[in-house]
Amino acid sequence: MITITTNASMLGRNTFGIDVKANIFCEYNSIEGLKMILTNELIEGRKHQIWNIGQGSNILFSGDFDGIILHGNIKGIDIIDENDSGVTLRVGAGEIWDEVVEWAVSNEFYGAENLSAIPGETGAAAVQNIGAYGAEFGNLVDYVEVLNTGTLETETIAKSDCRYGYRDSIFKHHPAKLSYIVTAVVIKLSKQKSFNLEYGNVKAALEGKEITIANVRNAIVDIRASKLPDWTKTGNAGSFFKNPVISTEQFEDIKAKYPNIPSYKVAGDDGKVKVPAGWLIENCGLKGFRLGGAQVYEKQCLVLVNAGNASPKDIVELSDIVIRTVKEKFDIEISPEVNIL
Ligand code: EPU
């Protein structure tokens, strides 16, 4: 089944709760349906203006969208291979990622539990390379199934060709961004009990509790709920900015003035460190700073929220102020993590 709507409201299609319109909004629940949409007379020839969205949890509409928004409802969680050590799962791009994690946890398949409670759909998780508490989606991926919008052929992109990096993949870059729509993701999970509890306060949250996959998931759900706003109540898109990577020299200079600045190692590069943008923003005095309806979230400055009827302009301007202030104070350039359309 497909639906094609013109002049469609995007309210309810983005977790920021922004009320804008798209010229055309289409939904599909199969690859055949997606092909039908792409060859429809309203759409054909306008492919450069297509954006395929998931749950809309990592996008900011900067105004009405002059183009075509697509949304897929391709579902299914299937075990396609299994042995004593693990399972290979094929997950439809339209599956809500946290429901996949919940299913994996209830079956005691290890590897996805640290990625609990991240909003969004599985296809978008593969594009964005979502990450949290020391885990990254790309590390679970075996291969990604896509429809090439140019040839209308399906293709399989091996993990090694996905170019996974920090919140980055080939699917975010030209030309793949314009030509690949993710239809399913094949991931591998383990049957061997193993956990990654080193990051942040995960271990502390589990103190006095038995270390089971269900308890690890619950701890992560609780930590996230205590820091991150619930988008169904307060519009937001999770971390608005990426954590910047700086030279160790610059880090040492800042640390001399601010001894409590947190930092993370950058794998394979001793000359660089990653610093939390949330800390930088907070230490610019911007915690809770409000511009129109947009606000720097009180409990986690990396998040910008729609505190009430924020316009796209409010959020973009607030983002610009945050970027400028961090640059002036720390000489560090932070950049948005959300996709601004
Ligand atoms: N911090 C502050 N003030 C703030 C925010 C953070 O001082 O306002 C400090 C914290 O105290 C902590 C450090 O910064 O020492 C790191 O904070 P946190 O553990 O909350 O993680 P983060 O680096 O701010 C990243 C991801 C999150 C992910 C968490 C946990 C990015 C852009 N964000 O945030 O991902 O959940 O780590 O792994 O990498 C997302 O991508 O939408 C997202 C929420």
- pLDDT higher than 90, residue 174: no
What is the full DSSP assignment across 231-271? TTTSEEEEESBPPPEEEHHHHHHHHHH-TT---EEETTEEE
- Token pair in block for residue 42: 């309203």
Ligand 1: nearest atom to the Cα of 241? 32
Mean pLDDT of the chain: 95
Atom of ligand 1 nearest to the CA of 224: 36
Q: Whose CA is nearest to atom 33 of ligand 1?
A: 239
- Number of Cβ atoms within 10 Å of the Cβ of 321: 16
Q: In the predicted model, is pLDDT for residue 273 greater than 80?
A: yes
Nearest CA, atom 1, ligand 1: 279
**Mean pLDDT computed over 313-320:** 97
Which pLDDT tens digit goes with each residue over 91-142?
Answer: 999 999 999 999 999 999 999 999 999 999 999 999 999 999 999 999 999 9
- Phi/psi at 26 (5° precision): -125, 145
Task: Tell me the two tokens of residue 51.
Answer: 């954006």
Q: What are the pLDDT digits (tens) for 26-71? A: 999 999 999 999 998 888 877 668 899 999 999 999 999 999 999 9
pLDDT for 266 equals 86
Q: Alpha carbon of 327 to those of 53, 223, 266, 271, 330: distances in Å?
A: 31, 29, 21, 21, 6
The string of pLDDT tens digits covering residues 154-172 is 999 999 999 999 999 999 9
**DSSP code of residue 176:** H
Residue to probe by mutation, ligand 1, list 115, 239, 334, most atoms within 8 Å of CB: 239
Atom of ligand 1 nearest to the CA of 243: 32
Whole-number Å distance, alpha carbon 121 to ligand 1 midpoint, is 21
Work out the average pLDDT over 300-322: 97
Model confidence band, residue 268 (pLDDT cutoffs 50, 70, 90)? confident
- Do 282 and 322 meet the contact criterion of CB atoms below 8 Å apart? no
Q: Is the pLDDT of residue 200 over 80?
A: no
Q: Tell me which residues have their CB closer than 6 angstroms to ligand 1.
A: 132-133, 199-200, 227-228, 238-239, 242-243, 262, 276, 278-279, 282, 300-302, 337
3-class SS at 73? coil
What share of the chain has pLDDT > 90, as a percent?
Answer: 91
Question: Residue 211: its pLDDT value, please?
Answer: 95
Residues belonging to the active site: 167, 239, 337
Task: Please state which of the ranges 174-178, 221-225, 261-265 shows the lowest mean pLDDT.
Answer: 174-178
Interaxial angle between packed helices 213-227 and 97-106, expressed in degrees from 0 to 180 and rounded to the nearest 10: 150
Distance 302 CA to ligand 1 centre (A): 7
Question: Distance from the CA of 72 to the center of ligand 1, in angstroms?
Answer: 30
- CA 171, CA 161: separation in Å to the nearest integer? 10
Ligand 1 atom at shortest distance from the alpha carbon of 130: 41
